[in-house]
């Protein structure tokens, strides 16, 4: 085998191997929703923008205050100082709630607690974990190395790093179930759902929330609906009429599904919720990545090939294959 042939083989072999792996190897499909998985249902049409959820979230999670504002707790976007913010979308004059023309609508931004979270898939040290029962996505600060892969992996731009702190940690919503708070483990509900006065954000099992959301979407606009307040099955209701909902429930299928669902009357893209494919990013990337290492075929094939290449190059150099460069050096030296 001469050098030319070797290089040909070396170039084609990995390509073939990858294609083979992708077709042969079983693709990693989306993880299924957990039967006991919990989440939130945020109904933008019920939200009055009072931000009591934002205030309570900061209180319960004992977050530092954003030094940007001495008057208010400034929560313009998700940051290490706020796991939960209410933002507004406005169009034209911005006077008609939940309408497109001259309309406006609120959106609650927080961790969506994906069914198949890409941050968990991307975390190289398994600091980001999805609880096997509740499905709550949490980060373990004792394991986290601060690589911030999860921040890039998250399609919703949720995890935030404490850049101001030399020993910064990664911060995000844990549905009030992180160490020291543990509301869900103790049978409680997240702070935001607890304080929401209108039932715009409610807590429950994802399956129950999905059923409630489907009922709302299916109901005739204008008909009366008993909206649960705080949580599914809390016994507290907010009786009001059904608006014109989007027929899709955001988070039912997006990116493999989310445990936090959103309903609204205006397009979800306007509210800053990206339109995502149904296959989760984790499933797509893990199929390729795990395929490459499947059976260690590719590494085992590649290692001897690389070794061979290295050895041949060394031999070629030692027998004077690289004379051109040396000659140049000699002429330079001669000039001196």
Which parts of 270-299 interact with other proteins (CB under 8 A)?
270-272
Residue 36 binding other proteins, by CB under 8 A: no
197 binds other proteins (CB under 8 A): no
Quick check: 110 and 271 in contact, CB under 8 A? Answer: no
Minimal distance in Å, beta carbon 165 to other proteins? 16
Q: How far is CA 66 from the centre of its chain?
A: 23
Q: Are 305 and 17 in contact (CB under 8 A)?
A: no
Residue 321 three-state SS: coil
Q: Mask: binding to other proteins, 153-192, rule CB under 8 A, as x and -?
A: ----------------------------------------
CA dihedral 90, 93, 98, 104 (to 10 degrees): 20
Nearer CB in complex with other proteins: 121/264: 264
Q: Name the minimum Å distance from CB 8 to other proteins.
A: 40
Smallest distance, Å, CB 217 to other proteins?
22
Stretch binding other proteins (CB under 8 A), from 232-240, 257-265, 268-276, 291-299: 268-276
Between the CA atoms of 313, 317, 323 and 326, what dihedral angle is there, to the nearest 10 degrees? 110
Output phi, psi for 161, to 5 deg.
-105, 145
Please check whether residue 105 is in contact with residue 115, taking contact to mean a CB–CB distance below 8 angstroms: no
* Residue 134 C-beta-side C-alpha neighbours within 13 Å: 23
Other Cβ atoms less than 10 A from the Cβ of 253: the count is 16
261 lines the binding site for other proteins (CB under 8 A): no
Cα–Cα nearest to 41, from 257, 216, 203, 228: 203
Does 265 bind other proteins (CB under 8 A)? Our answer is no
Choose between 115 and 260: whose C-beta lies nearer to other proteins.
260
Q: Does 336 bind other proteins (CB under 8 A)?
A: yes
Q: Segment near other proteins (CB under 8 A), from 50-58, 133-141, 302-310, 317-325?
A: 50-58
282: alpha, beta or left? (left if phi > 0; alpha if psi -120 to 50): alpha
Kindly state whether residue 107 participates in binding other proteins, applying the rule CB under 8 A: yes
| Least spacing, CB of residue 68 vs other proteins, in Å | 7
Rounded to a whole number of angstroms, the minimum distance from the CB of residue 167 to other proteins is 21
From 54, 158, 195, 201, residue interacting with other proteins (rule: CB under 8 A): 54
Closest CA to 177 of 162, 165, 187: 187
Interface with other proteins includes 2 (CB under 8 A)? no
Least Å from the CB of residue 124 to other proteins: 24
The residue (of 20 and 267) whose beta carbon lies closer to other proteins is 267
| Site membership for other proteins, residue 145 (CB under 8 A) | no
Q: Ramachandran region of residue 300, left (φ > 0), alpha (ψ -120 to 50) or beta?
A: alpha
Binding mask 64-103 for other proteins (x = CB under 8 A): -x--xxxxxxxxxxxx-----xxxxxx-------------
The answer to the question of residue 312 lying near other proteins (CB under 8 A) is: no
The residue count for binding other proteins (CB under 8 A) is 30
Positive or negative CA dihedral for 116, 119, 124, 130?
Answer: negative
As a whole number of angstroms, the distance between CA 255 and CA 276 comes to 5
Q: Interface residues with other proteins (CB under 8 A)?
A: 49, 51, 54-55, 65, 68-79, 85-90, 106-107, 270-272, 335-336
């Amino acid at each position: 085998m001469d050098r030319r042939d070797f290089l040909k083989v070396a170039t084609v072999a990995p390509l073939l191997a990858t294609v083979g792996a992708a077709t042969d190897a079983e693709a990693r499909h989306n993880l299924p929703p957990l039967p006991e998985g919990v989440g939130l249902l945020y109904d933008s049409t019920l939200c009055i923008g009072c931000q009591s959820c934002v205030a309570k979230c900061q209180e319960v999670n004992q977050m530092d205050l954003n030094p940007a504002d001495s008057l208010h707790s400034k929560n313009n976007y998700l940051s290490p100082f706020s796991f939960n913010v209410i933002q507004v979308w406005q169009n034209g004059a911005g006077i008609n709630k939940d309408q497109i023309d001259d309309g406006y609508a609120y959106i609650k931004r927080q961790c969506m607690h994906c069914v198949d979270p890409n941050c968990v898939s991307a975390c190289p040290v398994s600091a980001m974990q999805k609880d096997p029962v509740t499905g709550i996505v949490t980060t373990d600060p004792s394991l986290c190395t601060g690589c911030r892969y999860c921040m890039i992996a998250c399609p919703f731009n949720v995890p935030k790093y404490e850049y101001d702190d030399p020993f910064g940690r990664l911060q995000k919503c844990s549905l009030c179930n992180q160490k020291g708070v543990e509301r869900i483990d103790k049978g409680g509900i997240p702070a935001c759902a607890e304080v929401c006065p209108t039932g715009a954000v409610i807590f429950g099992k994802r399956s129950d929330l999905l059923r409630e959301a489907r009922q709302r979407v299916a109901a005739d606009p204008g008909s009366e609906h008993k909206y649960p307040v705080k949580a599914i099955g809390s016994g507290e209701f907010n009786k009001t009429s059904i608006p014109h909902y989007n027929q899709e429930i955001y988070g039912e299928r997006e990116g493999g599904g989310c445990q936090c669902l959103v309903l609204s009357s205006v397009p979800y893209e306007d509210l800053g919720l990206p339109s995502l494919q149904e296959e989760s990013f984790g499933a797509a990337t893990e199929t390729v990545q795990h395929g490459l290492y499947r059976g260690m075929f590719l590494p085992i094939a590649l290692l001897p090939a690389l070794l061979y290449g290295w050895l041949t190059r060394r031999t070629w150099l030692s027998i004077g294959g690289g004379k051109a460069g040396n000659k140049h050096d000699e002429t330079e030296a001669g000039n001196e």
